[in-house]
Amino acid sequence: MTPFSRYSCVTLLGLLLLLGSVCHAQKVVKLGFLLPYPEGDSAVPQRLADEWISAVRVAMEVLAPDYESAFTVEPFVKNSRCNSTAAAAAAQELVDGGVMGVVGPACSEAVAGANTVFKKAGMPYVSFAATANAFADDVAFPTFFRTVYADQHQARAMLSVIKYFNFKHVNLFHSAELYGRALSGDLKRALGDAATQIEIAYPGTDNPADYEPYFDGVKNGEGIINVFVTLPNVAENLWKAAYNLNYTKFPWWYLGSDGAVAFDLVTDGDELNHLTHALQGEIGVAPYKGNYHPRTSPFVRFMDFWKEKSHETYPGLLSLDVSPRYTEARAYVTNLVDAIWAFYEAFNHIITVNKDDVTTPAIVDCFKDKPSGCLRFDGASGTMSFNNVTGERDSEAQTPEYGFYNLIDQTWKEKSKWVLNKKEGINPNLEYMLRPGPLPAGWRDNLTHQREAPQAIIPKMSEIGAATYNDIQAAKNVESASSSSSSSGGGGSSGANTGAIVALVLVLLIVVCFLAYGAFFLYKRYKRHPEHQQFVRML
């Protein structure tokens, strides 16, 4: 064989191998999505639904290059709303379309409907927001998985708030659907006679006046808290009704579950609307977002990608950039990213490690860690793996955490955190939270532990100054509040005196360290050189 022909064969072989790799890369896997569009009777508000859809786009665009040598993903999106009937119909469309797995649904009520289809088809599906405890039943929900924790953990987190503030009675307002009934039931069983349940019709109307009768006869006064365990649109109408009844002032106080605090906070241009202003300082509970701290979090690359995009094409807080220092995604966005990521990891393992075709049974086995090591990765919301029996998120791999949020301006800002503690059961860290009183609702400053509260009247954010109200309050958590000292002469003088004392102490410490080092140096020379020792003795 001539050198030319030999090189030609090598080249041809290389081209064939390249073609094979290209063909391999062209392996297309269909992935379904059940998302609640903000229309019809969906309980998910417009902004949150838009942000979830943006999160799907961001996740797929960021992850695609990591796996493109093995496969590409073709998405199929259907509207599940928060309705069991709609979810079942949408689930059947996805099964008929040949998808290998499904991300969603978001709502517990929708999961109950979709499961009737997915169980029969053996279809693996991963919810990023359905939290009802009932889904841990592996017999009834054999192909269900989730990247969030069950509500048993949220119930304990909420109870820690109730216990911390020593409430005498709890009014439990809950929506008449699976999520609201289940979580409210957990709280009622734990609180016993100290709690009264008020069930809100679901789906209800969008007229706040229709919700005012639910407040008739409820206990009211110091030491009583109203807990909303509802879907977002129900909570919004309840709070509007409370505002119309003048029930957003002392001593009325509210604690919202993760569903309740997901409603859209509305502003009228630059001005906080009346409801948002009236609820300033109220407390909500939501799964810890785990977003950007530390900057080494795997979610950072998704965040950075998102923030470069236009808000018109990728709606959501990350692209809105209302406060560059503290902008963050809303609850369950990181869990949604991890649900998508889990499928990419499973597809990749089946194709590249098992050298097999992607099938629904293979994905279920991978999610249940068969073979061992098939699915475990550091995701956007922490270390991600599933319990190999129930399909629950593995709390051994990542400890459940919930954030406690104050409503500050247009967003819920985390002020404290609840962490599941194996030794003590729960580990609440609530020292910075304050219940509302005659003053506006507030919280404690992390450094001074003094009460900090929003201004009694906040007509417009623009009147606060160059920094937004969010940034002013957030800055108080990491440094002494300079605004109060600059507004009064006495405060400024006190700050100056404190600074002088600190500077003097630092100078003295430096001098002492220098003298100590000099003495140590002379001692070493004294020990090493006999002539020095003789000289000292002569002295």
Determine the topology of domain 152-291+399-464 in CATH.
Rossmann fold (3.40.50)
Give the pLDDT score at 103: 98
Give the pLDDT score at 518: 66
Are the folds of 24-148+333-384 and 152-291+399-464 the same? yes
Counting as low any pLDDT under 50, the low residues of the chain are 1-25, 268-272, 291-292, 321-326, 425, 437-499, 529, 531-539
Reduced to 3 DSSP states, what percent helix, strand and coil does the chain have, rounded to the nearest 5? 45, 15, 40
> Distance between CA atoms of 485 and 341, rounded to whole angstroms?
49
Domain boundaries, the chain: 24-148+333-384, 152-291+399-464, 489-538
Give the pLDDT score at 213: 96
Backbone φ and ψ for 388, nearest 5 degrees, come out as -75, 0
Residue 474: which residues within 8 A CB-CB, separation 6 or more?
325, 326, 413
Give the predicted TM-score (pTM) of the model: 0.74
What digits encode the pLDDT tens for the residues 160-201?
A: 888 877 888 999 999 999 999 999 999 998 988 899 999 999
Give the pLDDT score at 391: 92
> Distance between CA atoms of 222 and 386, rounded to whole angstroms?
43
Question: Which runs of consecutive H residues, i.e. helices, occur in 36-176?
Answer: 46-67, 84-96, 108-121, 151-164
Determine the topology of domain 24-148+333-384 in CATH.
Rossmann fold (3.40.50)
Backbone φ and ψ for 401, nearest 5 degrees, come out as -135, 140
Give the pLDDT score at 45: 81
Cβ(409)–Cβ(468) below 8 Å: yes
